[in-house]
Amino acid sequence: MLLEARNISKSFPGVKALSAVSLGFHSGKVNAILGENGAGKSTLLKILTGEYPSYEGSIYLDNQPVRFATVREAQNAGIVIIHQELNLIPQLTVAENLFLGRELNTVLGIMDTVKMNRQTQEVLEKIKLDIPPQTRVRSLKVGEQQLVEIAKALLADASVILMDEPTSALSDTEIENLHRIIRELKDEGKTIVYISHKMDELFRIADHYTVLRDGIMVGAGKMVDTTEHELIRLMVGREVKILPKEAALKQGKVVFQVADLSLQHPYDRNRMVLRDISFALHKGEILGVFGLMGAGRTELLETLFGLHPARSSYRLHIEGKDCYFKSPQAAIRHGLAFATEDRKSEGLILGMDIAENIGLPTVMQSSVLHPAKEKKIARSYVERLMIKTPSVSQLCRNLSGGNQQKVVLAKWLSTQPRILMMDEPTRGIDIKAKQELYELMKNLASTGMSILLVSSEIPEILTLSDRILVMSEGRITGYFTADEADEDKLLKAALPA
């Protein structure tokens, strides 16, 4: 084994994150780590990469004991990590991000931008990301930024590559591209450690698995010797009932109708990001929106929420009233809520606690919220959404991904919306938390709330949606009822013409 951890334990105030965990990672193999959010997976990776230098136990690399005091020490030893949450500097170019801290210089001691751009172009071509090296990261979509993170790891030529939910923001095509790269790395003898909640991915790409639950290793073996059902049972410690697809909803009245929506490109006014979008949303309906990355799904939700008033045009009727939103505040006043794709940078303020985050929309609307009332409201949503936390005073940065997403939902539900727009709501969360969110969405719809759901996961769209719109290149290219839709139809409609 190239990399081995023996009896690793790690504690935080009031929490035992890992307890005597021992596991090894094989060269030339994909080693999967499974577990619910909060099981200790990310903590283990942070220990292996020097982010957490203080812990109990031992780590061996090539049969030699190592203890990394910094991330740089781990990188110098050939261990790199691709984080689930992006670790890029938006203001810098792609090339500058890839070479940050290891810049190339000419013989005169000047930064060699030509060579850096050339090497960046080579690695971008390898991962099939068609963007110039000089592109500012802030102009990239989340999925493109995820691929830049992957390029960063490949450029380091590491012997051990740890991937924490690397496909959470990628389209199906990009996932297949990443898996192609991983197979090439396996052939080169690299050690791949792969965390994912997507079971179908793991059975396609992983060779070995290790399951963590509540900081303890509860199972390990070869992927060919196990089943999805057994892995889920190990992860949660009990049987998990998969939410069945329900019968199609009998349509209620139209509560939200948009016509002829178009959006100009931010830098080229002759290009359109969205063109001639029209659809209706019924009371108590979950309307799914599917498409590949770059189809314009996120931009559609942003436009409806009043984020691009200067570049957009449309006609909107909410329960028969004409509306046009020049700001998110106006959208909120008319009963809209928007749970964004990137919860860490857009959905939450990580340095604030749960109660403060849940109270943000109220403060934004009225500029004041009494702390006692804020905490009371927050506690009610913690209980209702089963948010796992010692108190509503817990900082959001200390919550697992699934619980962070629940706080985002609680924040918007506190505004009592009539229309809830959700962009990739289950991205990067575990199976149990995903099922809880599915049940929550169904329950909200049953009370009459209308939900506009953007998701890249076809099973999710098929399970939850009453009707499905498919987008490609800024247009609606398909429309299906729940009974009509299947995977082939959705993919065919999503492919560019």
**Per-residue model confidence as pLDDT tens digits over 408-434:** 989 999 889 999 999 998 877 777 778
pLDDT, residue 60, reads 95
Contact 223, 32 (CB under 8 A): yes
How far apart are alpha carbons 95 and 295 in whole angstroms?
A: 26
Report the pLDDT value the prediction gives residue 385, as an integer from 0 to 100.
Answer: 86
The pLDDT value given to residue 361: 79
Contacts of 486 (CB under 8 A, 6+ apart): 462
Which residues of 196-264 form beta strands (DSSP E)? 208-213, 216-222, 254-264
Q: Report the C-alpha gap between 217 and 238 in whole angstroms.
A: 16
Query: Which residue spans within 341-423 are E strands per DSSP?
Result: 419-423
CB 283 within 8 A of CB 448: yes
Report CA 244 to chain centroid distance, whole Å: 23
CA distance 137 to 124: 14
The confidence score (pLDDT) of residue 267 equals: 78
Beta bridge partners of 111: 105
What is the CATH superfamily name and number for domain 254-494? P-loop containing nucleotide triphosphate hydrolases (3.40.50.300)
| Angle formed at CA 495 by CA 278 and CA 302, multiple of 5 degrees | 40
Listed in sequence order, the residues at least 6 apart from 26 whose beta carbon sits closer than 8 Å to its beta carbon are 1, 2, 191, 207, 208
Q: Is 355 exposed, middle or buried (0-12, 13-18, 19+ CB in 10 A)?
A: buried
Superfamily (CATH H level) for 3-236: P-loop containing nucleotide triphosphate hydrolases (3.40.50.300)
3-class state of residue 5 by DSSP: strand
Determine the Cα–Cα distance for residues 170 and 163; give it in Å rounded to an integer. 14
- Taking alpha carbons only, the member of 219, 221, 212, 234 closest to residue 18 is 212
Which pLDDT tens digit goes with each residue over 428-447? 777 777 888 899 999 999 99
The two tokens of residue 307 are 């984020």
> Is 81 strand, coil or helix?
strand
**DSSP-derived secondary structure letter, 241:** P
The pLDDT of residue 497 is: 61
What 3-state DSSP class applies to 138?
helix
Nearest to 266 by CA among 223, 314, 240, 299: 299
Cα of first residue to Cα of last residue in the chain, in angstroms, is 48
Q: Do domains 3-236 and 254-494 have the same CATH topology?
A: yes
Please state, in angstroms and rounded to a whole number, the distance separating the CA atoms of residues 402 and 423.
Answer: 15
Cα 434 to Cα 430: distance, rounded to the nearest angstrom: 6
pLDDT at position 249: 55
Cα(477)–Cα(495) distance, rounded to whole angstroms? 9
**Phi, then psi, of 388 in degrees rounded to 5:** -85, 105
Show me where the domains of the chain are located: 3-236, 254-494
**Phi and psi angles of residue 392, each rounded to the nearest 5 degrees, phi first:** -75, -5
Chunked mean pLDDT (size 10), the chain, 497 residues: 90 84 94 84 92 95 94 92 81 93 86 93 90 92 82 87 82 83 91 88 94 92 93 72 53 91 87 94 96 87 95 93 92 93 79 89 66 86 87 88 87 92 85 85 94 91 95 94 89 79
C-alpha–C-alpha distance, residues 334 and 48, integer Å: 49
- Phi (first) and psi of residue 453, to 5 degrees: -110, 115
The strand pair at 312-318 and 321-323 is best described as: antiparallel
Q: How many helices (H) and strands (E) does the chain have?
A: 17, 20
Q: How far is CA 354 from CA 350, 359, 360, 429, in A?
A: 9, 9, 10, 18
Q: pLDDT at position 427, please?
A: 79
pLDDT at 492: 85
Rounded distance between C-alpha atoms, residue 137 and residue 144, angstroms: 9
Largest CA distance in the chain: 73
Tokens of 388: 């796992």
